[in-house]
């Protein structure tokens, strides 16, 4: 299934400058709201419909990563995070020049031996620098596996501000494909 991305921001920004950081951080402070932040995230999240156990595909650019980090700090009650840009710049260091593709996968109780290691992500002809698989657990007792987040990390310069097919594979078989116009993402 191919899903088109809606229009969003100016263009894939590689290496946020101080102005970009300040603009993104303003989304986490009053008078900005949860709805404002949801509108920012919307073009980065793809519902893949009937793709079996695959729930969605997300794109995480440097700009979106910064907003996710700032939101985590706000949820934890850290009102002092990034009052200047130094904290934000430090938090972004491991993510400079990186675009991540995140595939959210549900656990299959009918086939419990197939786990997150069966999945990978790909962007057309660009190889992932690495792939991290994180197990998601239920919050109840007893804790149980509910799925995995499969995050492929790619060099932003290898992607560039162009349209590319993003694919999720399970044991080498394509589960879903979305067409992403990276020129429309921050």
Q: What is the 3-state secondary structure (H, E, C) of 48-110?
A: CCCCCCEEEEEEECHHHHHHHHHHHHHHCCCCCCCCCCHHHHHHHHHHCCEEEEEEEEECCCC
pLDDT tens for each residue of 129-167? 899 999 999 988 888 999 999 999 999 988 988 999 999
The sign of the dihedral angle between the CA atoms of 152, 59, 139, 145 is negative
Distance from C-alpha of 140 to C-alpha of 6, rounded to nearest angstrom: 36
Domain spans, the chain: 18-184
In this structure, what DSSP letter does residue 162 have? Answer: S
Distance from C-alpha of 71 to C-alpha of 37, rounded to nearest angstrom: 9
Q: What percent of the chain has pLDDT over 90?
A: 55
pTM for this one?
0.86
Q: What are phi and psi of 184, to 5 degrees?
A: -100, 5
pLDDT tens for each residue of 100-137? 999 999 998 888 888 889 999 999 878 788 999 999 99
Distance from C-alpha of 179 to C-alpha of 55, rounded to nearest angstrom: 16
Peptide bond between residue 120 and the one before it cis (omega within 30 degrees of 0)? no
Distance from C-alpha of 40 to C-alpha of 66, rounded to nearest angstrom: 12
| Half-sphere exposure (Cβ direction) of 97: Cα atoms closer than 13 Å | 5
pLDDT tens for each residue of 41-54? 999 999 998 778 99
Q: Is the pLDDT of residue 8 over 50?
A: no
Distance from C-alpha of 63 to C-alpha of 172, rounded to nearest angstrom: 30
| Half-sphere exposure (Cβ direction) of 7: Cα atoms closer than 13 Å | 1
The pLDDT of residue 46: 97
Q: Is the pLDDT of residue 5 over 70?
A: no
């Amino acid at each position: 299934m191919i899903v088109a991305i809606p229009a969003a921001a100016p263009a894939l920004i590689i290496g946020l400058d101080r102005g970009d950081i300040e603009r993104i951080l303003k989304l986490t402070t009053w008078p900005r709201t949860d709805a404002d932040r949801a509108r920012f995230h919307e073009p980065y999240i793809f519902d893949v419909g009937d793709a079996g156990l695959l729930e969605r595909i997300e794109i995480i650019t440097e700009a979106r990563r910064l907003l996710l980090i700032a939101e985590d700090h706000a949820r934890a009650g850290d009102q002092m995070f990034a009052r200047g840009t130094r904290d934000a710049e430090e938090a972004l260091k491991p993510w400079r020049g990186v675009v991540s593709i995140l595939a959210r996968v549900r656990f299959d109780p009918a086939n419990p031996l197939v786990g997150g290691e069966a999945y990978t992500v790909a962007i057309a002809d660009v190889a992932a620098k690495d792939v991290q698989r994180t197990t998601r657990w239920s919050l109840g007792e007893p804790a149980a596996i509910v799925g995995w987040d499969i995050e492929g990390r790619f060099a932003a310069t290898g992607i560039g501000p162009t349209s590319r097919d993003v694919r999720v594979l399970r044991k080498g078989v394509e589960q879903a494909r979305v067409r992403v116009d990276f020129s429309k993402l921050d």
